[in-house]
Amino acid sequence: MFGAAAALAAPKPADAAPPMRFLRVIGDDARCRPHCPEWIAAEGRIEIGTARAFARVIADLGDRRLPILINSPGGSVPDAITMGRLIRSRRLAVAVAHTNITPCASPGECGEASGASVALGAFCASACPLVLAGGVERYVSPAGLVGLHQITTIMTRLSVVRTYRVHYRVVGGQKEEISRELIGETRNRTTTKEAAGPKVASEIASYLESMGVGGPTLALIAGTPSTSLHLLTMDELEATRLATIWIDSPAAMQNDGANGLTGMAVDAKADHTAELRAHGETAFFADDGVRLESLFDYRRGGGLVRAEFSSRSADASAGPTGLELKWSPGDGGKPLLKSTFGDRLGVDIPLDAFCELAVSGRLDVARLDRLGSSGEIDIHALTGMKALIEEACPAPAAKRAKA
């Protein structure tokens, strides 16, 4: 874990940051290729119209769920709320992290964006925590910055003074305009800030309550003048539930083994971590009392599903000396997963192969020391598998798996 966030420099004002841009990024670490984690990078100031651009990015994902890594000083409240609601409706995770984009080797040859995530010193302030609140899980580094203050309404008035050269003639004692030519124009823009009115304040309160971060968050907002910024301590991040998982390394996305988002639950009693886990035990070869334990792990945004299997028997001498585990596509093609092991096996399954497996849900197991003795694992019966499939695989695969 890292030191207190308050020791880091405060983020720049929103109006000093460039407008928010979105990029779909894949991890650039050679150790995870070709199955590196992916995420959506959201960097910059939230403006009027940012929510529409964000909705297009999410629509382009189809049914894929990728985590949102946000680094923003805030901006438009209505757009931030709209983004948060869309994130929650799609059940996406949000992490406060900056994305360093890898420069192209040569102009015009970039292809997809690649880069690395940096949680250390990343910030989410002003209206940005409204986006963070939408995450089904909210990842924050103890060395990151989340800041709140009273919400203000910005009024901009533009006055335009135009000068014309007018030609006219007098007819019957009356001026009659012949032509008009614009010869000058001056524009004066004045901006004023004032506390948000009751309607805006009520909408913010209703939104935060619906996201499950209402009371303590609203108290901190109300107690901090708009001219200041309150940087949340670790205790406040936990109390407000704006952080549900601590990012426990300098990076939010871990590339080793295509892990994806990394972290540990803020609440030690919580039943969630950065991993989605499915597990269970299946009885095989009843005459020997052999049982097979299965464990599947997936991290949001990762490119692999880690599967581990181990066999055990009440009578060690009667247990299998080797098991073969395989899965073939429904058309009887070449097995996509085939491994031979003694009493323990760990295998990384590429995401596309796992999502195909999720359709049938059946893994075949055979004893190598007893020909003709085989069994089957129904992965859908494993505790937690439904949530794991829904997170890792596009919705059609998950729906077929549950059918």
pLDDT of residue 7: 36
Sign of CA dihedral 71, 59, 353, 380: positive
Who wins on pLDDT, 196 or 31? Answer: 31
- Per residue in 40-49, pLDDT (tens digit) is 999 999 999 9
Provide the CA 206 distance to its chain's centre, in angstroms: 23
Domains and CATH numbers, the chain: 5-150+196-265 (3.90.226.10), 153-193 (no CATH), 275-398 (2.60.40)
Q: Within 10 Å of residue 176's Cβ, how many Cβ atoms?
A: 9
Token pair, residue 246, equals 């601590």
* pLDDT at position 290 over 90: no
Who wins on pLDDT, 358 or 400? Answer: 358
The band of 141, judged by pLDDT with boundaries at 50, 70 and 90, is: very high
Q: Within 10 Å of residue 5's Cβ, how many Cβ atoms?
A: 23
Q: Are 402 and 360 in contact (CB under 8 A)?
A: no
**What is the mean pLDDT of the segment spanning 342-368?**
81
Sign of CA dihedral 392, 244, 219, 231: negative
* pLDDT at position 333 over 70: no
pLDDT of residue 3: 38
The band of 125, judged by pLDDT with boundaries at 50, 70 and 90, is: very high
Average pLDDT over the chain reads 83
**What is the mean pLDDT of the segment spanning 280-307?**
83
In 275-342, DSSP assigns E strands to 275-284, 290-299, 304-313, 323-327, 337-341
pTM for this entry: 0.81
- Per residue in 72-120, pLDDT (tens digit) is 999 999 999 999 999 999 999 999 999 998 887 655 555 678 999 999 9
pLDDT of residue 360: 81
pLDDT of residue 108: 55
- Percent of the chain with pLDDT strictly greater than 70: 77
* pLDDT at position 207 over 70: yes
- Per residue in 366-399, pLDDT (tens digit) is 767 666 667 788 899 999 999 999 999 986 554 5
pLDDT of residue 6: 34
* pLDDT at position 268 over 70: no
The band of 332, judged by pLDDT with boundaries at 50, 70 and 90, is: low
* pLDDT at position 318 over 60: no
pLDDT of residue 1: 46
